[in-house]
């Protein structure tokens, strides 16, 4: 068992613009479906590893390719080293750059929708370890946010300062954790991700939620599709002359040696590839690279926040089934007020004693 303190900066922490099938199926992931239409309160958890300089790494930027295909249901893939789709797109930009440009249309609600080439486009996501407020028995979940407008709002708070020029508090500190309210509004005309961070009340989380034994290694939760399968998928959605010319010279390790053979006599016109418009379900990713919309984030930090103690619950480790849910508690969760802590007692000593009895441990979180 070990606890690593999260660092503001670590190797690979930069969220800068760069030119769900990508998460393994056995990983518990945060959902933003219909049941979460009003948003959810989450605790973003601390570091799952250290970088080479000893800094605590607590999130994982991930480049993905989305909007792949010609059907209404698009596919997403994590971008891996020597990705054939990245190679193909870069080659096509060289000999037919207009084919790589998205087209824009306006729907009946006035919202601009972009139609991408059949091979999609690359964008960035950010993965976090997170826990549902008041539902710690469900265990740690992976929170997956778009970098633009999602993770960037959290990053703005983490790197920000208060009026007296002191740094904002660490939202991942399990001894003084700050809840984050996240809402996905697909009906919004602008930025669909609404993120609110309120530091007026902090919470002491169970120590397990800071223990690397209970956190996901975010480097290991990513599902990379084999290069051969990606090449085959690409072959099915683009004309053969474009397919061959775009992959000419790609070092595929002999996976499909025929892809770059034979002369290329023509380049298919742009209209030969008929991608489908971006569906509504893809709207949260429909932000072009290089554009940074203003994130919706409200913050309120006070010098001495109210602090609540951790409840006594049994928390499952990654890839283990969560424990049975306890009797419901009134967490007073609404869209305007940060909920109260779901703890039956206000005594630190009583709560910690209960935690020791339930978890069979000798150590308790510091208050």
Q: Which fold has domain 1-367?
A: Replication Fork Single-Stranded DNA Binding Protein (3.90.198)
The pTM score is 0.71
pLDDT confidence band for 263 (50 / 70 / 90): very low
pLDDT per residue over 79-129, tens digit each? 999 999 999 999 999 999 999 999 888 777 677 788 999 999 999 999 999
Of 55-64, 175-184, 288-297, 309-318, the one with minimum mean pLDDT is: 288-297
* Residue range 289-314: mean pLDDT, rounded: 50
pLDDT confidence band for 214 (50 / 70 / 90): very high
pLDDT confidence band for 351 (50 / 70 / 90): very low
Q: CB of 88 within 8 A of CB of 247?
A: yes
Residue 302, Cβ neighbours under 10 Å: how many?
11
Q: CB of 284 within 8 A of CB of 186?
A: yes
Please, is 59 exposed, middle or buried when counting C-beta atoms within 10 Å of its C-beta (0-12, 13-18, 19+)? buried
Q: At what angle do helices 227-237 and 84-95 cross, to 10 degrees?
A: 40
* Residue range 26-31: mean pLDDT, rounded: 92
Any idea where the domains of the chain sit in the sequence? Answer: 1-367
Q: Are strands 40-44 and 121-132 parallel, antiparallel or unpaired?
A: antiparallel
pLDDT per residue over 52-77, tens digit each? 999 999 999 999 999 999 877 789 99
pLDDT confidence band for 255 (50 / 70 / 90): low
Please, is 100 exposed, middle or buried when counting C-beta atoms within 10 Å of its C-beta (0-12, 13-18, 19+)? middle
Question: What is the rounded radius of gyration, in angstroms, for the C-alpha atoms of the chain?
Answer: 23
């Amino acid at each position: 068992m070990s606890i690593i303190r999260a660092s503001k900066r670590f190797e690979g922490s930069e969220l800068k613009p760069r030119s769900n099938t990508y998460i393994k199926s056995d990983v518990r992931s945060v959902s933003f479906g219909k049941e979460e239409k009003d948003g959810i309160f989450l605790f973003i958890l601390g570091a799952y590893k250290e970088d080479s300089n000893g800094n605590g790494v607590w999130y994982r930027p991930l480049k993905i390719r989305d909007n792949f295909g010609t059907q209404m249901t698009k596919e997403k893939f994590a971008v891996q080293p020597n990705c054939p789709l990245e190679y193909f797109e870069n080659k096509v930009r060289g000999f037919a750059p207009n084919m790589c440009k998205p087209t824009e249309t306006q729907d009946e609600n006035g919202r601009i929708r972009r139609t991408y080439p059949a091979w999609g486009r690359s964008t960035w996501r950010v993965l976090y370890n997170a826990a549902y407020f008041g539902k710690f028995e469900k265990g740690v979940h992976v929170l997956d946010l778009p970098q633009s407008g999602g993770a960037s709002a959290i990053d703005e708070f983490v790197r920000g300062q208060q009026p007296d020029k002191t740094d904002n508090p660490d939202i991942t500190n399990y001894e003084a954790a700050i809840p984050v309210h996240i809402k996905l509004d697909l009906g919004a005309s602008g930025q669909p991700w609404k993120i609110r961070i309120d530091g007026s009340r902090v919470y002491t989380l169970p120590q397990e939620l800071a223990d690397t034994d209970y956190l996901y290694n975010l480097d290991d939760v990513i599902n990379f599709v084999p290069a051969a399968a990606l090449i085959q998928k690409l072959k099915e959605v683009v004309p053969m002359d474009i397919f061959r010319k775009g992959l000419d010279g790609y070092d595929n390790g002999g996976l499909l040696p025929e892809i770059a053979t034979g002369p290329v006599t023509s380049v298919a016109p742009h209209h030969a590839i008929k991608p489908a418009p971006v569906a509504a379900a893809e709207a949260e990713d429909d932000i072009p690279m290089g554009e940074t919309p203003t994130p919706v984030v409200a913050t309120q930090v006070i010098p001495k926040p109210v602090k609540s103690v951790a409840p006594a619950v049994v928390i499952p480790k990654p890839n283990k089934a969560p424990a049975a849910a306890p009797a419901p508690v009134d967490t007073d969760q609404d869209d305007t007020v940060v909920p109260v802590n779901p703890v039956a007692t206000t005594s630190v000593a009583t709560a910690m004693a209960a935690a020791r009895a339930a978890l069979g441990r000798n150590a308790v979180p510091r208050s």
